[in-house]
Amino acid sequence: MNTVYDFTVKDRMGREVSLSEYKGKVLLIVNTATGCGFTPHYEPLEAMYRELHNSGFEILDFPCNQFAGQAPGSDEEIHQFCTLKFGTEFPQFAKIDVNGETADPLFAFLASKKPFAGFGKGIKNAMLNKFAAMNNKKFGEKTYIGWNFTKFLIDREGKVIARFEPTDDMDKVSAAVEAALQN
């Protein structure tokens, strides 16, 4: 597997979707949760989507319940929450696992291209690091994602060019997306 276009995922209705359908677009692939302290990231994500979508930008949203059970609902309940609370219009896929033996192959691939490098410095980041380490201990070597709202930036050729942890400033994410759209 060389690019994200080599993967097939399930949409929230259970249909197979080849990521090759997104060829030529800049993608931001995100694992999300509806009950997380980072759930408000939906707001700047949606704003970015509305501003940049017509320039060839897509956000692919993959709910995940592996982090302290913060996405417990069904795919439909999660979708309703996101559209009603945050007005999300970007594609939302079926809930997946991103760590462990049942990790979705897409996220194992993404993390192999841009491994976890920590949440950064500061008291909040250190606290998240400690909490995530306790949560993720059960996944051992197959811990690919540190927490909800990890974002992977994909260029127009399907290559992973950046990884953003949930603690990264959303302005930094937006600037990287805009730069990728210029290439």
Per residue in 133-146, pLDDT (tens digit) is 777 777 777 888 98
Residue 46 φ/ψ, nearest 5 degrees: -65, -40
Distances (CA, A) of 102 to 49, 56, 98, 109: 30, 32, 8, 13
Residue in the block written with tokens 């127009």: 156
For residue 88, which amino acid is it? T
Q: What is the mean pLDDT of residues 77-88?
A: 87
For residue 26, which amino acid is it? V
Confirm whether 82 is a catalytic residue. Answer: no
Q: Which domains does the chain possess?
A: 4-182 (3.40.30.10)
Provide the pLDDT for residue 172: 96
Q: Which residues pair with 57 in a beta bridge?
A: 26
Provide the pLDDT for residue 122: 75
CA 149 to chain CA centroid, nearest Å: 5
**Selected residue with higher pLDDT from 36 and 123:** 36
Is residue 28 packed enough to be buried (19+ CB in 10 Å), middle (13-18) or exposed (0-12)?
A: buried
Q: Which residue in the list 9, 29, 36, 96 is annotated as catalytic?
A: 36
Q: What is the DSSP letter of 86?
A: H
Per-residue pLDDT tens over the stretch 162-178? 999 999 999 999 999 99
The pLDDT of residue 37 is above 90: no
State which of 32-41, 98-107, 142-151 shows the largest mean pLDDT.
98-107
Per-residue pLDDT tens over the stretch 109-140? 999 999 987 787 777 777 777 767 777 777 77
Q: In the chain, what percentage of residues exceed pLDDT 70?
A: 99
**pTM score > 0.85 for this model?**
yes
> What contacts 45, CB < 8 A, 6 or more positions away?
28, 30, 59, 88, 90, 170
Distances (CA, A) of 59 to 16, 80, 91, 146: 17, 17, 7, 20
Provide the pLDDT for residue 1: 66
The pLDDT of residue 19 is above 80: yes
CB 88 within 8 A of CB 82: yes
Among the listed residues 9, 24, 26, the one whose alpha carbon sits nearest the alpha carbon of residue 162:
26
